[in-house]
Structure 1
Amino acid sequence: MPDIRTSELKDPVDVAEYLFRRLKEVGVQSVHGLPGDYNLVALDYIPKVGLDWVGNVNELNAGYAADGYARVKGISAIVTTFGVGELSAVNALAGAYSEYVPVVHIVGCPSTISQRSGMLLHHTLGNGDFNVFSNMSRQISCATSLLNDAHEAATLIDHAIQECYIQSRPVYISLPTDMVQKKVEGERLKTPLSLEFPPNDAEKEDYVVDVVLRALHAAKNPVILVDACAIRHRALNEVHELIEKSGIPTFVAPMGKGAVNETLPNYGGVYAGDGSNAGVRDRVESSDLVLSIGAIKSDFNTAGFTYRVSQLSTIDFHSNYIRVRYSEYPGVRMNGVLRKVTQKMGKLNIEAGPTPSNTIPQAERDSKDPTITQAWFWPRLGQWLQASDVVITETGTANFGIWETRFPKDVTAISQVLWGSIGYATGACQGAALAAKELGLRRTILFTGDGSFQLTAQEVSTMLRNKLNPIIFVICNEGYTIERYIHGWDAPYNDVQTWRYKDLPAAFGAKEGEAKTYQVKTKEEVEKLFEDKEFADSDALRFVETYMPKEDAPVALKMTAEASARNNARLE
């Protein structure tokens, strides 16, 4: 017997079509993931609605790739299968949750009939509990939508995607096999999802703006410190208006790299406590007012908790509250406050800050040693980068080294400083390169260590499959350098097998002209590479074995590793 409620639909649309059309509406063009028997029919709808299927080599890499895609494009989607597939992606999605990255995770599930009857199906624990995996994911999702009823499906889909975007965190959508082709009201698709942030209460916002302005006008030498949540919670337009109009010396935390136009005259460099760029720590810590925007004060983001900025001289701007010294104003989002502060601030007291550059340190310029060192490489890289590059750095020497690189305009920087999952960057590079291609950006550049690369190297195969052309620098320094500095310098667990890295594109099926490989062991060879115009701007994937000494590391990494070792060894 036909369902009366379904027969009353004005424009019946299959649940899976509705879901993927909504994803396309909010900016997703490519869907990451892997096939599995519980999601196969749903996957047929991806090309039907004009989306592209990426097809990753495993779910962990797919999750990293979806994370990288979302950081460039604004939101992403990944499809896995029930149990075995979704659990393989959990680490990547936990990282996205930790670092406020909006990823829609769609899980193809056994039918609602199978679930109700507790059938002993493959990919289950054999105990009849079909909610165990979704319950795991609840802890790393800002919304969980189980599409077990067609009459609620459209509402649940809309809610999940809106929450994903607005809260900038992963959501979980389960799609049982018998729900894929059930009908929902397609008329809803004529009304675009509202992705606007709820406005602040006007009276409360104006009060907070006045409090901030009083503190700002009283300050003698204010500074601005921008961190990751300014990016994740989409406040960069307001941040840049404030920076440019005010002229206040502006600094970024490591996780905030790329948030600020580093060519601005009042950009001062990276502040990370003792690991700061030259002159930055003294300028920030001597300030009588720090406008801290979107801060995440984790250990690796503060060079081992070496911040020395008093809350008495700090105003914190966040997505759900403002804190002025020790007074907190909950429920007030930073975007509106920053906009009004910029409009009303008038003339301020400004004391200039340091001006970072990509000048190679004098000791490196004087050295006759041809070896590529961390201290030489990262400033030299800054001279070679171009405007609008997408730069991805792995947790380790690359992530800490990039602090010493002053970016050109509009560079997008991607790193996973808080979650710090080894191997993240190579997977993220695939997603970021795909998103960059969709946006018309020419260059995506990855820097990863040999140890990290070995965890997710297969994603180079996905890059080739999708005709992507990132530039990949694998830093060959004999294993896990950051781990060595924390503990076990000569321990075998910090060693890795030596691979012939530049042979991998061919092994992964690169056709003639699809990949170019290089090997650099000296500064002179790096110079020649950076001067090579074909290398700088090619349609081919470029893969560079870059050799650096095992014992070499950026100074900030050494400091942070020492702090980690102390924290790890601390006793009650």
Structure 2
Amino acid sequence: MASTDIVTRELKNPVDVAEYLFRRLHEIGIRSLHGVPGDYNLVALDYLSKAGLKWVGNCNELNAGYAADGYARVKGISALVTTFGVGELSALNAIAGAYSEFVPVIHIVGQPTTKSQKDGMLLHHTLGNGDFNVFNKMSEGVSCYVARLNNSQDAATLIDSAIRECWIRSRPVYITLPTDIVGAKVDGDRLKTPIDLSLPKNDPEKEDYVVNVVLKYLHSAKNPVIVVDACAIRHRVLEEVRDLVEKSGMPTFVTPMGKGAVNETHKNFGGVYAGNGSNPGVSDAVESSDLILSIGAIKSDFNTTGFTYRIGQLNTIDFHSTFVRVRYSEYPDINMKGVLRKVIQKMNPLSPAPAPALTNILPESEKTSNDQIITHKWLWPIVGQWLKEKDIVLTETGTANFGIWDTRFPAHVTAISQVLWGSIGYSMGACQGAALAAKEEGGRRTILFIGDGSMQLTVQELSTILRNKLNPIVFVICNEGYTIERYIHGWDAGYNDIQPWEFADIPKAFGGKENYQGYRIKTRDELKKLFADNDFNVSDKLRLVELYMPREDAPAGLKLTAEAAANRNK
């Protein structure tokens, strides 16, 4: 203790560890922290306002983790605060999802004092065996960096390193904050120097070599195309993608996880490539190409309609955050950002084929139909006609996530879905986080499409939305249960059924009054009238729409993916 006091006395500008941590979070753009209070984090939370941060206060830690994920997908990074053991484990599913999908979330866990841990005291929220490391070991597998702040000497360095790793690698990090370290002193002068968040520079000679190899194949290709996936978004190369699309003129496609990565109003945009579930004409255009520039690919089952890609590595150049693969040659330890920028600078003019036409026009069968039943074939092009520039659109992993493939977005739309991790109920929590981020950025509309089954898992976040005066538009697809599960197995099984809820009444039970409006929509004409309502479109309050659709109806992509999943499960 004496040595710590000596170190503290030698500091010219001592700052408490918690203040240092929270000021660093503010520095990188975070303005609100999600989480649930607990006795091991309460003292730390007292420092939030001093650092210019607001406390959200979620209904449970799982929802808080989902919300932090949604916030990060809009703001670029987020932070979550839980308490030791019971709190952090409740959030672990959400953190695993963020790790799976490359979302940068800083998970801060309030812990018992370092002395209590060293002595193995029989404290609440423990397993009763004196092991205080068991929970952080659980988080190690879903974190790209672990910072255990067990003393003040290296606390500031660990905090800075954790934040940098979270940003650079675009994955969650885990920071422990024992209660006796909260007020320990660190060098406040470090705060005068911002954390270096720049990417490590590629070796110039290696980068130039890879660029020349890429250009050789690109210039010799007769009908090259671009396919953009999720990691182009997560690893922040959207400016490079935009410039590449513009300068090359190549037909450009996105995957389901890559929705929103490209301006879908651009003349080069051709639609969603997802193997057998692709938009009309897209499979032919991509799979007949003699060179595919694949940017940030995550070739998971739901992202490829059950692994139905028919593109060979011989015709593919893969760009990733840590390597580039040109056909069958891999170049490790090189990031795509620098390579793409030089490719854009050095490429010769190309004469690519035109992209397939993609519109939000209804299929002929739906145009001429007098049916008032709301079907997926009808709904998603209509949604595309209704959306506005800069909207944030969230879709639950179910009918909505697959249906949105058929929606052509206006410019600068942010799309949020959890295609790879696919945790049911994720999107309701993420909607709260995204709506909060949108409010902080000046008020973009936040729109959620979620199934009735999924909604029942995380519906409490409607309460957090009301408490924080957020104004998303939430569409609850009422189709009597777990449709995606029905298509995989157990069509009429009771385990795929749910108790019907009066969803439009729930926000009233949560205290929604003048800041809430509910709707029940059962026909096409009712939905068209709602979309034409100016008050509804302004969205100055939480608006929840019960949207009734047939139980047996589903987008084509979902049916194909579910069939593939069912076959694999056998």
**Which category of TM-score, normalised to the shorter sequence, fits these structures?**
over 0.9
| Aligned-residue offset at 1:368 | 1.6
For residues 404-442 of structure 1, give each alpha carbon's deviation from its aligned partner in whole angstroms, at most 9, with x where no partner exists: 000000000000000000000000000000001111133
- Structure 1: distance between partners of 2:423 and 2:12: 47
The answer for the alignment partner of 1:230 in structure 2 is 232
One-letter code of the match for 1:207? Y
The answer for the alignment partner of 1:167 in structure 2 is 169
| Aligned-residue offset at 1:307 | 0.1
**Which residue among 327, 345, 370 is the counterpart of 1:368?**
370
- Matched position secondary structure for 1:79: strand
The answer for the alignment partner of 2:542 in structure 1 is 541
One-letter code of the match for 1:471? I
- Structure 2: distance between partners of 1:111 and 1:556: 52
- Matched position secondary structure for 1:464: helix
Contact map agreement 1:223 1:290 (CA 8 A) in 2: yes
One-letter code of the match for 1:532? D
- Structure 1: distance between partners of 2:104 and 2:204: 28
| Aligned-residue offset at 1:349 | 3.0
| Aligned-residue offset at 1:538 | 2.7
For residues 446-488 of structure 1, give each alpha carbon's deviation from its aligned partner in whole angstroms, at most 9, with x where no partner exists: 0000000000000000000000000000000000000000000
Structure 1 position 418 matched with structure 2 position 428: no
The answer for the alignment partner of 1:127 in structure 2 is 129
**Which residue among 338, 341, 346 is the counterpart of 1:339?**
341
Contact map agreement 2:108 2:174 (CA 8 A) in 1: yes
The answer for the alignment partner of 1:41 in structure 2 is 43
- Structure 2: distance between partners of 1:368 and 1:267: 32
For residues 102-152 of structure 1, give each alpha carbon's deviation from its aligned partner in whole angstroms, at most 9, with x where no partner exists: 000000000001001000000000000000000000000000001001101
| Aligned-residue offset at 1:367 | 1.5
- Matched position secondary structure for 1:151: coil
1:188-267 matches, within 5 Å, as 188-267=190-269
- Matched position secondary structure for 2:330: strand
- Matched position secondary structure for 1:341: helix
- Structure 2: distance between partners of 1:441 and 1:354: 34
**Which residue among 462, 465, 485 is the counterpart of 1:463?**
465
Contact map agreement 1:15 1:181 (CA 8 A) in 2: yes
| Aligned-residue offset at 1:346 | 1.5
For residues 252-294 of structure 1, give each alpha carbon's deviation from its aligned partner in whole angstroms, at most 9, with x where no partner exists: 0000000000010000000000000000000000000000000
The answer for the alignment partner of 1:562 in structure 2 is 563
- Structure 1: distance between partners of 2:304 and 2:413: 22
- Structure 2: distance between partners of 1:432 and 1:476: 23
The answer for the alignment partner of 1:16 in structure 2 is 18
- Structure 2: distance between partners of 1:95 and 1:11: 39
For structure 2, the residue ranges without an aligned partner over 5 or more in a row are none
Contact map agreement 2:487 2:563 (CA 8 A) in 1: yes
Contact map agreement 1:219 1:349 (CA 8 A) in 2: no
**What fraction of aligned residue pairs are identical, expressed as a percent?**
71
The answer for the alignment partner of 1:90 in structure 2 is 92
- Structure 2: distance between partners of 1:187 and 1:563: 57
- Structure 1: distance between partners of 2:343 and 2:50: 47
**Which residue among 269, 288, 291 is the counterpart of 1:289?**
291
The answer for the alignment partner of 2:523 in structure 1 is 522
**Which residue among 266, 269, 272 is the counterpart of 2:271?**
269
- Structure 1: distance between partners of 2:180 and 2:231: 39
One-letter code of the match for 1:301? N
| Aligned-residue offset at 1:347 | 1.3
| Aligned-residue offset at 1:47 | 1.1
- Structure 2: distance between partners of 1:353 and 1:531: 31
| Aligned-residue offset at 1:355 | 1.5
The answer for the alignment partner of 2:331 in structure 1 is 329
- Structure 1: distance between partners of 2:344 and 2:443: 31
1:490-505 matches, within 5 Å, as 490-505=492-507
For residues 362-388 of structure 1, give each alpha carbon's deviation from its aligned partner in whole angstroms, at most 9, with x where no partner exists: 101122211000000000000000000
Contact map agreement 2:34 2:56 (CA 8 A) in 1: yes
Contact map agreement 1:217 1:349 (CA 8 A) in 2: no
Contact map agreement 2:35 2:81 (CA 8 A) in 1: yes
For residues 57-85 of structure 1, give each alpha carbon's deviation from its aligned partner in whole angstroms, at most 9, with x where no partner exists: 00000000000000000000000000000
The answer for the alignment partner of 1:445 in structure 2 is 447
- Matched position secondary structure for 1:150: coil
The answer for the alignment partner of 1:550 in structure 2 is 551
The answer for the alignment partner of 2:157 in structure 1 is 155
1:25-40 matches, within 5 Å, as 25-40=27-42
Contact map agreement 2:36 2:59 (CA 8 A) in 1: yes
- Matched position secondary structure for 2:415: strand
| Aligned-residue offset at 1:209 | 0.4
Moved over 2 A (4+): none
Contact map agreement 1:389 1:441 (CA 8 A) in 2: no
- Structure 2: distance between partners of 1:442 and 1:335: 28
Structure 1 position 112 matched with structure 2 position 114: yes
- Structure 2: distance between partners of 1:464 and 1:165: 30
- Structure 2: distance between partners of 1:509 and 1:383: 33
One-letter code of the match for 2:64? A
- Structure 2: distance between partners of 1:105 and 1:152: 19
1:311-330 matches, within 5 Å, as 311-330=313-332
For residues 226-277 of structure 1, give each alpha carbon's deviation from its aligned partner in whole angstroms, at most 9, with x where no partner exists: 0000000001011100001111000000000000000100000000000000
**Which residue among 160, 177, 180 is the counterpart of 2:179?**
177
For residues 296-354 of structure 1, give each alpha carbon's deviation from its aligned partner in whole angstroms, at most 9, with x where no partner exists: 00000000000000100000000000000000000111001111111111111311120
| Aligned-residue offset at 1:16 | 0.3
